[in-house]
Structure 1
Amino acid sequence: MSHAQAADGAALHYEVRGSGAPLVLLAGQSNSHRWWEPVRDRFEAAFTTVVMDWRGTGESDAPDTDTYSTPHFARDVVAVLDHAGIDRAHVYGTSMGGRVAQWLAADHAPRVDRLVLGCTSPGAPHGIERGPAVRKALADPDQTAARAALLDLMYTPAYIAAHPGPFTTLGDPAMPAHARRRHLRASARHDAWDALPRITAPTLVVHGSDDDFNPTANAPLIADRIPGARLLIVPGGRHAYFEECADAATPPVVDFLNARTERTR
Structure 2
Amino acid sequence: MSHFIADDGAKIHVKISGEGSPLVMLHGWTSSHQEWFPFLGELQKQHQVFRWDARGHGGHALGDAAAPTAERMARDLANLLDHYQLDRVSAVGHSMGALTLWQYIRDFGTERLSRLCFIDQSPKLMTDETWSHGIYGDFDETKAGEMMGWLHEDFAEAVLKLTAFGLNERAREKYLAGASGWEKSRQALRAQAPAPLIDCWASLTAADYRDVLARIDVPSMLVYGGQSNFYSLETARYVASRIPDALLHIYDGTDHSPHQWQRERFARELLAFLNP
The separation in 1 between residues aligned to 2:267 and 2:58, in whole angstroms, is: 25
Query: Counterparts of 1:100-249 in structure 2 under 5 Å?
Result: 100-106=100-106, 107-123=108-124, 124=126, 126=131, 127-130=133-136, 139=150, 147=160, 150=163, 173-249=190-266
Q: Which has the higher helix share?
A: 2
Identity of aligned residues (%): 27
| Alignment match, 1:42 | 42
* Partner AA of 2:136 in structure 1: R
* Partner AA of 2:26 in structure 1: L
The separation in 2 between residues aligned to 1:185 and 1:217, in whole angstroms, is: 24
Instruction: Give yes or no for contact 1:155–1:238 (8 Å, CA) kept in 2.
Output: no
Q: CA deviation at 1:114?
A: 0.1
Do the aligned partners of residues 217 and 67 (structure 1) sit closer, same or farther apart at CA in structure 2, a change above 3 Å counting? Answer: same
Instruction: Give yes or no for contact 2:94–2:118 (8 Å, CA) kept in 1.
Output: yes
Q: Taking structure 1 as the reference length, what is the TM-score of the superposition?
A: 0.81
Instruction: Give yes or no for contact 2:122–2:231 (8 Å, CA) kept in 1.
Output: yes
1:28 matches 2:34: no
The separation in 2 between residues aligned to 1:213 and 1:171, in whole angstroms, is: 21
Question: What SS class does the counterpart of residue 8 from structure 1 fall into?
Answer: coil
**Gaps in structure 1 of 5+ consecutive residues:** 260-265
The separation in 1 between residues aligned to 2:30 and 2:185, in whole angstroms, is: 11
1:34-72 Cα deviation digits (max 9, x unpaired) = 222233333222221110011111264514665432232
1:253 matches 2:254: no
Do the aligned partners of residues 215 and 58 (structure 1) sit closer, same or farther apart at CA in structure 2, a change above 3 Å counting? Answer: same
Which is further off, 199-208 or 69-78? 69-78
The separation in 1 between residues aligned to 2:158 and 2:203, in whole angstroms, is: 25
Q: CA deviation at 1:95?
A: 0.6
Instruction: Give yes or no for contact 1:209–1:238 (8 Å, CA) kept in 2.
Output: yes
Instruction: Give yes or no for contact 2:26–2:97 (8 Å, CA) kept in 1.
Output: yes
The separation in 1 between residues aligned to 2:169 and 2:35, in whole angstroms, is: 14
Instruction: Give yes or no for contact 2:10–2:65 (8 Å, CA) kept in 1.
Output: no
1:18-40 Cα deviation digits (max 9, x unpaired) = 22211111000122212222333
Query: Counterparts of 1:28-107 in structure 2 under 5 Å?
Result: 28-58=28-58, 60-63=60-63, 67-106=67-106, 107=108
* Partner AA of 1:113 in structure 2: S
Which is further off, 109-118 or 83-92? 83-92
The separation in 2 between residues aligned to 1:35 and 1:214, in whole angstroms, is: 20
Which is further off, 123-132 or 10-19? 123-132
Q: Taking structure 2 as the reference length, what is the TM-score of the superposition?
A: 0.78
The separation in 1 between residues aligned to 2:185 and 2:157, in whole angstroms, is: 17
Instruction: Give yes or no for contact 2:222–2:249 (8 Å, CA) kept in 1.
Output: yes
The separation in 1 between residues aligned to 2:207 and 2:6, in whole angstroms, is: 20
Instruction: Give yes or no for contact 2:122–2:239 (8 Å, CA) kept in 1.
Output: yes
The separation in 2 between residues aligned to 1:169 and 1:85, in whole angstroms, is: 38
Question: What SS class does the counterpart of residue 75 from structure 1 fall into?
Answer: helix
Instruction: Give yes or no for contact 1:105–1:115 (8 Å, CA) kept in 2.
Output: no
Aligned CA RMSD, in angstroms, stands at 3.5
* Partner AA of 2:113 in structure 1: V
Q: CA deviation at 1:132?
A: 6.4
Do the aligned partners of residues 201 and 181 (structure 1) sit closer, same or farther apart at CA in structure 2, a change above 3 Å counting? Answer: same
Instruction: Give yes or no for contact 1:115–1:202 (8 Å, CA) kept in 2.
Output: yes
The separation in 2 between residues aligned to 1:240 and 1:155, in whole angstroms, is: 15
Q: CA deviation at 1:103?
A: 2.4
* Partner AA of 1:31 in structure 2: S
* Partner AA of 1:34 in structure 2: Q
* Partner AA of 1:194 in structure 2: D
